[in-house]
């Protein structure tokens, strides 16, 4: 049994889960899809030179927290893939709270970790910051400043907490634990920009287009004074028509919105790589690999359009 | 961090983009939507599989 499966089994054996059928079913579904974010505590332990086994409670807690965030996110976005459509809004909300509190409880019950209270506090803080970010997000930010405030509240805390809690379970020194947390914050911004690029370039138009929300490329095309701005704003209301969506997406390319997002990705990649260079880690490779995977799509894009390597372009 | 408007002005300024880091980004802006979609990021934080 792998480490991830082991952490899921520990959740399924928890008395809270045994008494709550829907909670158990949600956790069983998590066993079938191992998201990279759920492995962050393992990567932190490996990076500080401690056996990955130490991270098991942290993996379980982060998995719970992420499932709770997705449940709430889908509710807020009225996402057609959301569990609320299957089990109802009330039960989805209850499940999210159940997962949140289960994650904290798992950390507090990890008797072998002397930093378990600090870890539980970090998870709690993450959920609070994320909730604040979600609340800012539903108010549909329409300025650059508001966009970055939402990103730093909504996306960064999760990755920061996942690495930080992993570091605590790996008995990292406090300075390294905080550096890993900061690395996670930057990584969260990278993931949000990727998310926004995906949401914007997908076809047919997804909920962001249809609900008038403003992921980063759309915000750029709406705010910046460029020759096709008025046409873009007009097309935004017609994106259920595939031709209108395609024209709007083409404007995003031509007006520099996609280039802007890529520039922001490259900037954060450099920032994270620089921070990684400052850390005293036993093995930075797991984090180097994460960064490499996050920048790989940009490398591919640059190659496809005949551009220079990104290292030469900053 | 560059503001969006500053980035736009720099990207499409003939003076700036000739000799700067913006060349590659300008090539992206001149690419077709088809080229961009062919290699678009598939990373998203709720779907990026660890396996």
Kindly report, residue by residue over A70-110, the tens digit of the pLDDT: 899 888 888 888 888 888 999 999 999 999 999 999 999 99
- For the cut 70, the answer to whether the pLDDT of residue B47 exceeds it is no
Domain identity same for A127 and A235: no
Q: At what angle do helices B4-11 and B22-30 cross, to 10 degrees?
A: 90
What is the band of A32 on the pLDDT scale with cuts at 50, 70, 90?
confident
pLDDT given at position A311: 56
Q: Is residue B40 part of a domain?
A: no
Range from A66-70, A134-138, A261-265, B39-43 carrying the lowest mean pLDDT:
B39-43
Q: What percent of chain A has pLDDT over 90?
A: 72
Q: Which of A35, A259, A293 has the CB atom closest to B25's CB atom?
A: A259
Q: Is residue B31 part of a domain?
A: yes
Average pLDDT of the residues in A24-35: 82
| Smallest Cα distance from A111 to chain B, Å | 28
Q: From the CA atom positions of chain A, what is the Rg in Å?
A: 20
Range from A199-208, A224-233, A234-243 carrying the lowest mean pLDDT:
A199-208
Query: Which of A172, A204, A225 corresponds to the end of one domain?
Result: A172
Q: What percent of chain B has pLDDT over 90?
A: 37
Kindly determine whether residue A36 and residue B40, on different chains, have CB atoms separated by under 8 Å.
Answer: no
- For chain A, the straight-line distance linking the first and the last C-alpha, in angstroms and rounded, comes to 44
- Residue ranges making up the domain that contains B19: 11-35
Domain identity same for A146 and A190: no
Query: Which of A150, A172, A194 corresponds to the end of one domain?
Result: A172
Domain identity same for A188 and A266: yes
Which residue, among A255, A149, A205, A79, has the nearest Cα to B31 in the 3D structure? A255
- Residue ranges making up the domain that contains A231: 173-314
Average pLDDT of the residues in B31-39: 86
Query: Which of A172, A199, A229 corresponds to the end of one domain?
Result: A172
Residue pair A133/A55 in contact by the 8 Å Cβ criterion? no
- For the cut 70, the answer to whether the pLDDT of residue A133 exceeds it is yes
Domain identity same for A127 and A276: no
The H or E element containing residue A224 is none
Which residue, among A82, A79, A165, A75, has the nearest Cα to A125 in the 3D structure? A165
Residue pair A197/A258 in contact by the 8 Å Cβ criterion? yes
What CATH code is carried by the domain that includes residue A272? Answer: 1.10.600.10
- For the cut 80, the answer to whether the pLDDT of residue A5 exceeds it is yes
Compare all CA atoms of chain A with the CA of B31 and give the residue at the minimum distance: A305
CB pairs A-B closer than 8 Å: 142
Structure tokens at A251: 């404007």
Residue pair A209/A232 in contact by the 8 Å Cβ criterion? no
| Smallest Cα distance from A224 to chain B, Å | 5
pLDDT given at position B49: 58
Q: How many domains does chain A have?
A: 2
Q: How many domains does chain B have?
A: 1
Q: What is the ipTM of this complex?
A: 0.90
Residue pair A261/A216 in contact by the 8 Å Cβ criterion? yes
Range from A27-41, A147-161, A236-250, B11-25 carrying the lowest mean pLDDT:
B11-25
Q: pTM value?
A: 0.91
- Rounded-to-integer distance, Cα A239 and Cα A232, Å: 10
């Amino acid at each position: 049994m792998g480490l991830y499966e082991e952490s899921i089994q520990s959740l399924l054996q928890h008395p809270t889960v045994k008494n709550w059928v829907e909670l158990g079913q949600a956790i069983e579904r998590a066993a079938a899809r191992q998201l990279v974010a759920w492995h962050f505590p393992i990567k932190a332990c490996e990076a500080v030179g401690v056996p990955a086994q130490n991270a098991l409670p942290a993996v379980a807690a982060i998995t719970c927290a992420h499932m709770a965030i997705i449940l709430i996110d889908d509710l807020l976005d009225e996402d057609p893939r959301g569990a609320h459509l299957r089990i109802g809004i009330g039960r989805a909300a209850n499940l999210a709270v159940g997962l949140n509190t289960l994650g904290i409880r798992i950390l507090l019950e990890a008797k072998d970790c002397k930093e378990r209270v600090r870890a539980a506090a970090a998870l709690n803080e993450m959920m609070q910051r994320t909730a604040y970010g979600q609340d800012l997000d539903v108010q549909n930010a329409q300025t650059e400043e508001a966009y970055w405030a939402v990103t730093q509240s909504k996306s960064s805390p999760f990755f920061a907490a996942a690495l930080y809690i992993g570091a605590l379970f790996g008995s990292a020194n406090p300075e390294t634990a905080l550096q890993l947390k900061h690395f996670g914050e930057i990584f969260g911004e990278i993931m949000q920009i990727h998310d926004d690029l995906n949401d914007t370039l997908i076809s047919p138009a997804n909920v962001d287009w249809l609900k008038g929300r403003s992921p980063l490329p759309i915000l750029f095309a709406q705010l910046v004074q460029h020759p096709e701005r008025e046409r873009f704003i007009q097309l935004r209301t017609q994106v259920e028509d595939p031709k209108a969506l395609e024209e709007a997406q083409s404007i995003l390319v031509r007006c520099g919105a996609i280039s802007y997002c890529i520039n922001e990705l490259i900037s954060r990649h450099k920032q994270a790589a620089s921070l990684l260079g400052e850390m005293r880690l036993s093995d930075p490779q797991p984090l180097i690999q994460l960064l490499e995977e996050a920048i790989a799509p940009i490398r591919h894009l640059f190659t496809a359009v005949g551009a220079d390597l990104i290292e030469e372009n900053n | 961090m560059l503001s969006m408007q500053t980035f736009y002005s720099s990207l499409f300024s003939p003076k700036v983009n000739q000799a700067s880091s913006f060349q590659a980004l300008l090539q992206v802006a001149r690419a077709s939507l088809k080229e961009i979609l062919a290699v678009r990021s598939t990373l998203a934080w709720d779907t990026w599989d660890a396996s």
